[in-house]
């Protein structure tokens, strides 16, 4: 069952909900039933739910995937101590890095009985500095900026219909501000955002196809 569906089902019942997700949900990594024996309620309690069983959540670091573009490794780490349940975190590393040995973590810092992993900044800089990723980022920012401009333009257009013809800039601005969060604008905002998401998805597909072709060549 979808998590969202589960939540809406659980919160609309007449009984106050105890925060437990329904039995039978499985670990997204190994497929084992969560809290199967009833001895690990945290696996199914919404406040501590990570979609993983204890073993998978705490498994030592491993390479999740390697980018075809330049061999960047995404390394998955267990949540840092103390042992309250949290999501695993990924760090980026290159196999030839002498700082992190390709594991994406430059050091483990211990502090107040807990620790955290510090990302290797050399690998991060290398990853985000790759010209293909820089271009990609710029294109996505352009798309986002354009969508924002469409939204702002729409708000301004509607604001002007509510004001006299020769309204002052200040009045337009004030009307626009009251419109941004107006419930009647929600559908328009959603529509523009959905359009942006579709365009962004298409862009990602085109970029991935171009990348796959370049790697195969
Ligand atoms: Zn598991
Ligand atoms: Zn590194």
Residue ranges near ligand 1 (ion) with Cβ within 5 Å: 27, 29-30, 53, 56
User: How many angstroms is it from 62 CA to the middle of ligand 2?
Assistant: 15
Domain match, 81 and 104 both:
yes
User: How many angstroms is it from 26 CA to the middle of ligand 1?
Assistant: 8
71-120 tens-digit pLDDT: 999 999 998 875 666 889 999 999 999 999 999 999 988 877 777 889 99
User: How many angstroms is it from 42 CA to the middle of ligand 1?
Assistant: 14
Q: Give the model's pLDDT for residue 212.
A: 87
More confident residue, 9 or 213: 213
More confident residue, 111 or 135: 135
Domain match, 70 and 46 both:
no
In the chain, the percentage of residues whose pLDDT exceeds 70 is 91
Q: Give the model's pLDDT for residue 80.
A: 80
How confident is the model over 138-149, as a mean pLDDT? 96
Closest ligand to 72 CA?
2
Domain match, 114 and 162 both:
no
Closest ligand to 36 CA?
1
Closest ligand to 95 CA?
2
User: How many angstroms is it from 61 CA to the middle of ligand 1?
Assistant: 14
Domain match, 122 and 134 both:
no
Domain end residue (candidates: 129, 144, 159): 129
Domain match, 101 and 168 both:
no
Closest ligand to 28 CA?
1
Domain match, 85 and 108 both:
yes
173-214 tens-digit pLDDT: 999 999 998 988 999 999 999 999 999 999 999 998 988 888
Closest ligand to 51 CA?
1
Domain match, 191 and 203 both:
yes
Domain match, 72 and 136 both:
no
Domain match, 3 and 30 both:
yes
Domain end residue (candidates: 81, 97, 129): 129
Domain match, 66 and 48 both:
no
Domain end residue (candidates: 71, 97, 129): 129
Q: With helix as H, strand as E and coil as C, how does the chain read?
A: CCHHHHHHHHHHCCCCCCCECCCCCECCCCCCECCCCCCCHHHCEHHHCCCCCHHHHHCCCEEEEECCCCCCEEEEECCCCCCCCCCCEEEEECCCCCCCCCCCEEEEEEECCEEEEEECHHHHHHHHHCHHHHHHHHHHHHHHHHHHHHHHHHHHHHHHHCCCCCCCHHHHHHHHHHHHCCHHHHHHHHHHHHHHHHHHHHHHHHHHHHHHHHHHC
Give the domain range for residue 41: 1-54
Closest ligand to 34 CA?
1
Domain match, 145 and 184 both:
yes
User: How many angstroms is it from 35 CA to the middle of ligand 1?
Assistant: 11
Q: Kindly tell me if the per-residue pLDDT of 62 is higher than 70.
A: yes
Q: Kindly tell me if the per-residue pLDDT of 9 is higher than 60.
A: no
pTM of the model: 0.71
Closest ligand to 43 CA?
1
For the chain, the domain total comes to 3
In this predicted structure, which of 8-12, 96-100, 108-112, 160-164 has the lowest mean pLDDT?
A: 8-12
Domain match, 121 and 176 both:
no
């Amino acid at each position: 069952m979808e998590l969202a569906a589960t939540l809406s089902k659980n919160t609309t019942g007449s009984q106050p909900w105890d925060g437990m997700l329904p039995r039978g949900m499985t670990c997204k990594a190994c497929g084992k039933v969560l809290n199967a024996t009833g001895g690990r309620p945290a696996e199914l309690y919404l406040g501590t739910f990570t979609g993983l069983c204890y073993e998978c959540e705490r498994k030592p670091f491993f390479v999740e995937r390697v980018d075809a573009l330049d061999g960047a490794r995404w390394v998955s780490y267990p949540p840092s101590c103390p042992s309250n349940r949290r999501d695993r975190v990924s760090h980026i590393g290159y196999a030839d890095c002498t700082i992190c040995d390709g594991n994406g973590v430059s050091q483990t810092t211990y502090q107040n009985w807990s620790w955290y992993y510090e990302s290797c900044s050399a690998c991060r800089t290398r990853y985000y500095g790759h010209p293909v990723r820089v271009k990609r980022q710029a294109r996505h920012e352009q798309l986002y900026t354009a969508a924002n401009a469409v939204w702002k333009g729409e708000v301004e257009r509607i604001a002007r219909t509510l004001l006299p013809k020769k309204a002052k800039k200040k009045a337009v601005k004030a009307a626009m501000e009251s419109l941004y969060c107006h419930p009647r604008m929600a559908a328009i905002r959603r529509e523009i955002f959905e359009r942006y998401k579709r365009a962004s998805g298409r862009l990602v597909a085109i970029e991935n196809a171009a990348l796959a072709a370049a790697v195969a060549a």
